[in-house]
Structure 1
């Protein structure tokens, strides 16, 4: 399960991706629009900025903007930037590998074997899915839901 911090970061990045190019979103606007706590959002945006996902401009016309197009932002690395390792076990982590404290044998560990395939599939998806793909899928689902709502209303 991803953290609340990662959820808020994801919402903020999507909102920035949907904003008009060249027009940054101020933190106040972003917090109100996405219903996110401002103080927590400030910390998250600083992390995303340090990781190279967003930039900020000061002043009346300033705000936060994406540094890269949404089709170049991969979900897995972005989550790692915000939350750190995303592996369910330290012995499966690619960025923060550590042998488990109670491990007798990684090769014969039932826990590691049980999670290895599922994590590998999960990771492969996160490492190849872009923010733009997620947004397109959400837009399609949103359109389908709106169409279903229109058809469900009595005439």
Structure 2
């Protein structure tokens, strides 16, 4: 299950992508307070999330009067999978099904015949395929019912 932290990280990243799109691709710094207010994310929690995203190279920060955070790369190059892995860790539902943090299950007598492991690997592969092809840019262009042909860049 997606944690609140990962959900907030995705919303913050979509907000930064939306601001860049509004500026014709120019990635100007955005104040944390503005993101927190627009996305209804507690400011201190958002600060911690953005620091982690900065350490991972997805955002950059600028100090001073016109400072804030901006995407480090174009939104077309940042995937949902990257953001979720930074925030939550591996996409797999169990350690034995993980590509990036594999660990044998202590209670599994034989991984080769474990039906649960094989199903969880399929789930991981399907989930990863969708999240790895979904970029911040593509997500904001998804058509959704009830909207004017485009997805809202950010969900409340």
**Structures share fold, TM-score greater than 0.5:** yes
Unaligned runs of 5+ in 2: 152-156
Query: What corresponds to 2:139 in structure 1?
Result: 134
Cα distance between partner residues in 2 of 1:37 and 1:13: 15
Question: Superposed, which structure 2 residues align to 1:16-55 within 5 Å?
Answer: 16-19=16-19, 20=23, 21-55=26-60
Q: TM-score, normalised by structure 1?
A: 0.87
Unaligned runs of 5+ in 1: 147-155
| Aligned residues: CA RMSD | 1.6
Query: What corresponds to 1:150 in structure 2?
Result: none
Q: TM-score, normalised by structure 2?
A: 0.86
1:15-47 Cα distance to aligned partner (Å, 9 max, x none): 001113242111111111111000100000001
**Do structure 1's residue 70 and structure 2's residue 78 form an aligned pair?**
no
Query: What corresponds to 1:96 in structure 2?
Result: 101
Question: SS where residue 141 of structure 2 aligns?
Answer: helix
Going from structure 1 to structure 2, the CA distance change for 1:111 and 1:40 (only over 3 Å counts) comes to same
Structure 1 residue ranges (4+ consecutive) displaced by more than 6 angstroms after TM superposition: none
**Do structure 1's residue 87 and structure 2's residue 92 form an aligned pair?**
yes
For this pair of structures, how many residues does the alignment match? Answer: 144
Cα distance between partner residues in 2 of 1:121 and 1:129: 13
The structure number with the bigger radius of gyration is 1
Which is helix-richer, 1 or 2? 1
Cα distance between partner residues in 2 of 1:95 and 1:106: 17
Shift of 1:86: 1.6
The structure showing larger relative contact order (alpha-carbon pairs under 8 Å, at least 6 residues apart) is 2
Cα distance between partner residues in 2 of 1:14 and 1:65: 11
